[in-house]
Amino acid sequence: MTDIDTHDTTSEAGPAEGWVLPAEPPVNPRPEELAEQLVEQAQAEGVELVGPDGLLGDLTKRVLEASLEAEMDAHLGYSKHDPAGRDGGNSRNGTRAKTVITEVGPVDIDVPRDRDGSFEPKVVRKRQRRLGGVDEMVISLTAKGLTTGEVQAHLAEVYGTDVSRETISGTKPLLDKGLRLVGHQGLEP
């Protein structure tokens, strides 16, 4: 077996004379490094971190859409633009626009569709309009004694979106059931 010399033989300068080997980009940069780079770039370009056109909303959109595409790949058994999908029965059929309320505010996403309508996404389910923390926020605010109108006003202020009184009122039975369970079981020290 022969050794391969990876040094630049065209340069006479060595490390002591200011010769710098090009740094290879990390294969999988740490999330902290990515976050720092994104924040620095956003600040340099004058992009807000939060708000309607903020960095967090854009990142949320990209992550959700990439997750949905990965789900579609798994559902169909092939990647987008893969020749294996031609004449194979079910296939992609464009996307549909959807607005979901997230912890960073409303986010417009494109949800992929398949021809026979059998795709059931898990990341953002069909007919789902709110993700994760929003429901927990409603329950938390209701548990703290805020009225339906106060919860509605708070969500409008924090997330920039309108959640109907019916939706907020619909969480009260869940909260009541949870409180009854805790009351019957008691709190452990």
Closest CA to 130 of 71, 174, 171: 171
pLDDT at 144: 77
Entry pTM: 0.60
pLDDT value of residue 17: 42
The predicted structure's pLDDT at residue 170: 66
| Amino acid 6: pLDDT | 42
Buried b (16+ CB within 10 A) or exposed e, 22-57: eeeeeeeeeeeeeeeebeeebeeeeeeeeeeebbbb
DSSP SS3 for 47:
coil
- pLDDT per residue, tens digit, the chain (189 aa), is 444 444 444 444 433 344 444 455 555 667 778 778 888 888 888 888 877 778 888 888 888 898 899 999 999 988 888 888 787 788 899 999 999 988 888 899 999 999 999 999 988 889 998 887 766 777 777 677 778 788 778 777 766 666 667 767 666 665 565 556 555 444 444
pLDDT at position 12 is 43
Domain ranges of the chain: 32-82+89-130, 132-183
pLDDT at 175: 59
